[in-house]
Amino acid sequence: MDGAGIYRRYLSGDDSALAELIRAYADGLTDFLTGVSGSAALAEELTEEVFFRLVTRRPRFRGESAFRTWLYSIGRNLALDSLRRQKRLSPEPPEEHTELRSPDSPEDDVIRRERTLTVRRSLKNLNPDYRQALELVYFQGFTNDEAARIMRKTRRQTENLLYRAKKALAGRLEKEGITHEDL
């Protein structure tokens, strides 16, 4: 069953439907919100807040977009509100490290980790709209139209953002000595 149908079941009183929604959407939403907020911990809190709002406010899904697009829009709006509130008070978040497992030599593993950190730093330093567009389309698998709806942009604006984002990211990575082939 699609997300809209599961949500309708939840609104009709089937509490188990909320668990289905969480299983189906929480991980992807958290990944997306990590890209928007720059912090995995904040993204987890925001994901919880999205589902908490579904429980407490029971917003109406009108079907003007895909359910996932609607849900991610709620998350994006919460993230932007949170970032606005914390902008003046928040120190730079610590860099997050990803565990990489590789059968290669320890030296190759270290090089791969350094590249991963460089890519993450470069993404973090991009314009927020660029970062969001890349996250939605390339990491979350949304279409350009769906990404445009989530970001409240036109399809053309989203395509332009993606083009500029890829160009900006490539430029930052080249300055760090990483080429497309290295990835």
Q: Are residues 77 and 113 in the same domain?
A: no
The reply to whether 114 falls in a domain is yes
Residue 94, domain member (yes or no): no
For the domain that residue 176 is a member of, what is the CATH number? 1.10.10.10
Domain count, the chain: 2
Tell me, yes or no, whether 99 lies in a domain. Answer: no
Of these ranges, 86-90, 139-143, 176-180, the one predicted with the greatest mean pLDDT is 139-143
Give the C-alpha separation, 44 to 33, whole Å: 8
In a domain, 91, yes or no: no
| The token pair that represents 73 in the structure block | 């829009």
**Cβ contacts of residue 98 below 8 Å, gap of 6+?**
113, 116
Residue finishing a domain among 86, 117, 140: 86
49-103 pLDDT, tens digit each: 999 999 999 999 999 999 999 999 999 999 999 888 887 554 554 444 444 344 4
Least confident of 72-76, 106-110, 136-140, 174-178: 106-110
The confidence score (pLDDT) of residue 118 equals 76
Q: Which of 86, 114, 133 is the last residue of a domain?
A: 86
97 within some domain: no
Give yes or no: residues 64 and 23 share one domain: yes
Give DSSP secondary structure letters for 8-53: HHHHTT-THHHHHHHHHHHHHHHHHHHHHHS-HHHHHHHHHHHHHH
CATH number (domain holding residue 35): 1.10.1740.10
* Same domain as 119, residue 47: no
How many whole angstroms separate alpha carbon 54 and alpha carbon 149? Answer: 20
The DSSP letter of residue 95 is P
**Does 8 share its domain with 82?**
yes
Same domain, 82 and 7: yes
Q: Using an 8 Å Cβ cutoff, are 134 and 169 in contact?
A: yes
Percent of the chain whose predicted confidence (pLDDT) is above 90: 58
pLDDT on residue 95: 46
For 161, the token pair is 């953002």
| pLDDT in the model for residue 19 | 94
The verdict on residue 93 lying in a domain is: no
Average pLDDT of the residues of the chain: 85
Q: What digits encode the pLDDT tens for the residues 107-128?
A: 766 776 777 677 777 888 899 9
Does 1 have pLDDT greater than 80? no
Do 20 and 52 fall into the same domain? yes
- State whether 112 and 178 are in the same domain: yes
Question: Does some domain include residue 111?
Answer: yes
Domain containing 62 equals 3-86
Same domain, 73 and 116: no
- Residue 143: which of 130, 160, 155, 132 has the closest Cα? 155
